[in-house]
Amino acid sequence: MSDWIARRCRVSGRVQGVFYRASTRAQAQMLGVTGYARNLPDGSVEVVACGDRAAVEALCEWLWQGPPAAEVTRIDVENIAASKLPGRPTGFSTL
């Protein structure tokens, strides 16, 4: 799959305790994106998104919206080389 990409996004703002991870999982599943979302100790959420370029980009754009109670103030995005991943994730999980 030549158009397969992976990105790590660190989402800051009011993103914990507002169903951000669960909403991200639902959106990722709808788009066919694999990876995970997890809370970080500093109050941000880390999202790793893998899949078709258009789907990953759509999820990364959606992260700015999130669920209704979220208030996203910043997203730092990093491209991840496929060689840096232990394998392609199957499914999308919340950690």
Question: Which listed residue (7, 21, 38, 53) is catalytic?
Answer: 21
Report the C-alpha gap between 21 and 54 in whole angstroms: 21
Report the C-alpha gap between 57 and 69 in whole angstroms: 22
Query: What does the block give as tokens for 91?
Result: 């499914």
Total count of domains within the chain? 1
Question: Which listed residue (39, 53, 79, 88) is catalytic?
Answer: 39
Catalytic annotation present for 38: no
- Coil, helix or strand for 75? strand
Catalytic annotation present for 79: no
CATH code (residue 63): 3.30.70.100
Each residue of 40-68: pLDDT tens digit?
Answer: 999 999 999 999 999 999 999 999 999 99
Q: Is residue 21 part of a domain?
A: yes
Each residue of 62-91: pLDDT tens digit?
Answer: 999 999 999 999 999 999 987 676 667 778
